[in-house]
Amino acid sequence: MRSEQQVEAALKSYEDVDSWKTIIFLYNAALKEVGTKLEILNDEFQHVHQYNPIEHIKTRIKTPDSIVKKLKRYGHETSIENMVRYVNDIAGVRLICSFTSDIYRLAEMIGNQSDLKVLSIKDYIKNPKESGYKSYHMLVSVPIFLSDSVVDTKVEIQIRTIAMDFWASLEHKIYYKFEGNAPEYISKDLQECAKMVSELDDKMLSLNEAIRECIAQQDKDQIQMNEELMNDVKTLVIDKYDGSLKAEHGTGRNMAPFVKYEWGEKAYRMMQAVKTLFDPLNILNPGVIFNDDPQCHIKNFKPLPLLGSSHRQPAENNKSTPDIGPIDKCIECGFCEVNCLTCGFTLSSRQRIVLQREISRLKESGENPQRLATLQKQYRYPGNQTCAGDGLCSTSCPMGINTGDLTHYIRQQELPEGSFAYSIGNFAANHFAGIKSSLRPMLTLANATHTVLGTSAMLTLTTGMHNLLGIPQWTPFMPKSYKRREKGDLSREKEREESQSDSNTGSQLSTFNSQLSTAFSRLASSASTT
């Protein structure tokens, strides 16, 4: 096999290291690779479906004693070559899930990884062992990139539920004590327990599905209640009191089916004709202002996916984690925009929530990965990097929502504590005075470059550098460098201003006296003539 040849070559390349240590190094590296990949898949699943299929992950390297016993049981001599060739579970990963449906879902996700090669599959769930053991086993090959070669290393992945793992752990301990020769009555009891565990898994899975169906039915009931309410309002306002449903407000989806009843058939068709005249392609609010569907008010609801559902309270071990639960209460009224520093420049606080809701919706549905990736990329500068995070938006929000908390949370997710970027930011915060002084010549250089190149060329150049390198984007509103003036400079400037002021005052008085003398001379001349 290719992997065995690569392992043997790798062993020969480590002349100064014991072969056993080298092979264990390879298996440990493979465990790290698989463990990281599984954690990423789990995080992705949480983001997309708001659900975590993996309860916990266990890893282990088989002990030398266990390896030797297994080789002897298979009738092979004890050697490194035989260990690599015949023992497939030296490196093992165990995934513990909540439900049996999660097992096959995770197995599919693992099998879709392009850098993992599935060598074999043993489904002990559909085909349990005689003892009652149930689990899903996958043998995969993981490429380990060394300094001068790539070694494919085998890892066994076991996927089972909490109940399966509980039974298997106890079964292993019992049989270990008897060295595989347990009394018959114990084996029968274990088999009975295995059946009970299987029934428990089936029951928990059916309960989970029943809960999901119940939630879906509740949603249907809410829609039906909304339909009945709107029909009752229409009957009361139009039929009984000949009133107006909308008053001064515009027509939305909730009112669209009832416009005909309020205006009458003739006026309704006339307005439809006017709408068609100005909008022949029907691109302005299609199916909203005029809609012949009597149920359009219970269709096409605006999605409001939860943003703060899993982060309503800061974690106990991290009090700095912002509570973004209140974000879910946003009604998108726009009252916050009057106090948003970036409204009209990039995005307003309301727009940030709207876009994050769409991102959350796409994650949950998984319907358009390309659109999701585009939104996430395009949100970084106008949504994240330019938000002041000062919380002024909350002062005019009817719900008291602080969109800055959402921005702080996103930044914490992108730059977690301990990351390189976090370290840089922490350094900048602790050395702000020095960094501020060093930025003055940078602003001077940027302003000089703008003077030479012009606004259009400067924007093109800096936009490309921002997209390529991620540096802050230049705008025509970028401030110029400011040189701090000393007290002596301020005193001399004040004296100059006072001197100039005195000079101006003296000049004004001289002009006034001259004008006054001229006036008196004219009066005297007029009096003598008279």
Residue-wise pLDDT for 84-118, tens only, equals 888 888 899 999 988 888 899 889 888 888 888 89
**Residue 156 falls in the annotated catalytic set:** yes
In a domain, 314, yes or no: no
Does residue 81 sit within a domain? yes
Main-chain dihedrals φ then ψ at residue 341, nearest 5 degrees = -70, -25
Mean pLDDT of 36-40: 86
pLDDT for residue 382? 92
**Domain-embedded: residue 21:** yes
Higher-confidence position of 4 and 54 = 54
Q: Are residues 189 and 158 in the same domain?
A: yes
Question: Is 48's pLDDT higher than 70?
Answer: no
Write down the pLDDT at residue 314.
Answer: 46
> What local confidence, expressed as pLDDT, does residue 462 receive?
83
* Confidence at residue 244, expressed as pLDDT on a 0 to 100 scale: 80
Regarding whether 473 and 441 lie in a shared domain, the answer is yes
* Confidence class for position 506, pLDDT limits 50, 70, 90: low
Whether 234 and 204 map to the same domain: the answer is: no
**Of 184, 176, 135, 131, the residue nearest 156 (C-alpha):** 135
Instruction: Please tell me the predicted confidence (pLDDT) of residue 5.
Output: 58
Residue 7 CB partners (closer than 8 Å, separation 6+)? 23, 26, 84, 151, 153
Q: What is the pLDDT of residues 181-198, one digit of tens each?
A: 767 787 788 888 888 888
158 with 259, same domain: the answer is: no
Residues 180 and 274 in one domain: no
For residue 155, what pLDDT is reported?
92
Q: Is residue 157 in some structural domain?
A: yes
Alpha-carbon distance of 325 to 303, in angstroms, equals 17
> Which residues, listed in sequence order, are joined to residue 158 by a DSSP beta bridge?
94, 137
Determine, yes or no, domain membership for 307: no
Are 150 and 229 within one domain?
no
Same domain, 336 and 197: no
**The predicted structure's pLDDT at residue 355:** 93
Measuring CA to CA, which residue among 321, 319, 295, 324 is closest to residue 309?
324
Across residues 252-257, what is the average pLDDT?
77
Q: Catalogue the long-range contacts made by 203-207 (C-beta closer than 8 Å, 24 or more residues apart).
A: 204/98, 204/99, 204/163, 205/99, 205/100, 205/101
- Average pLDDT of span 142-152: 85
When pLDDT is cut at 50, 70 and 90, the band that residue 122 belongs to is very high
pLDDT at 495: 65
> Could you report the per-residue pLDDT of 312-333, keeping only the tens digit for each?
444 444 556 677 878 888 988 8
Q: Which long-range contacts (CB under 8 A, 24 or more apart) does 294-303 make?
A: 294/257, 295/227, 295/257, 296/253, 296/256, 296/257, 297/226, 297/227, 297/230, 297/253, 297/254, 297/255, 297/256, 297/257, 298/223, 298/224, 298/226, 298/227, 299/253, 300/253, 303/357, 303/361
Is the model's pLDDT at 153 over the cut of 60? yes
Among 186, 208, 230, give the residue marking a domain's end.
208
Share the mean pLDDT of the chain: 80
Taking only the tens place, the pLDDT of each residue in 297-314 is: 777 777 777 776 444 444
Query: Choosing from 4, 15, 39, 156, which is the catalytic residue?
Result: 156
Is pLDDT of 493 > 80? Answer: no
Are residues 60 and 184 located together in one domain of the fold?
A: yes
**Residue range 348-405, pLDDT digits in tens:** 999 999 999 999 888 877 778 888 889 988 999 999 999 998 999 999 999 899 999 9
Does the residue 315 lie in any domain? no
Look-up: residue for tokens 């719900």? 399
Q: Which amino acid is at 327?
A: I
Q: What is the CATH number of the domain that holds 46?
A: 3.30.460.10
How far apart (Å, rounded) are the C-alpha atoms in residues 324 and 405? 6
348 and 202 share a domain? no
Does 112 reside within a domain?
yes
| Domains held by the chain: number | 4
376, 400, 427 - which closes a domain: 427
Mark whether 99 and 166 lie in a shared domain: yes
List the one residue out of 42, 171, 141, 16 whose CA is nearest residue 98. Answer: 42
- Is residue 272, in this structure, part of any structural domain at all? yes
Contact (CB, 8 A) for 156 and 215: no
Q: What is the pLDDT of residue 317?
A: 46
Q: Could you read off the pLDDT of 258-317 as tens digits, one per residue? A: 888 888 889 888 888 888 898 888 888 777 777 777 777 777 777 777 776 444 444 444
Query: Residue 347: which domain range?
Result: 325-427
Residues 358 and 279 grouped into a single domain: no
The pLDDT tens digits for 425-473 are 888 888 888 887 777 788 788 888 888 888 888 888 888 887 777 777 7
Do 423 and 444 lie in a common domain? Answer: no
Positive or negative, the Cα torsion across 416, 417, 419, 420? Answer: positive
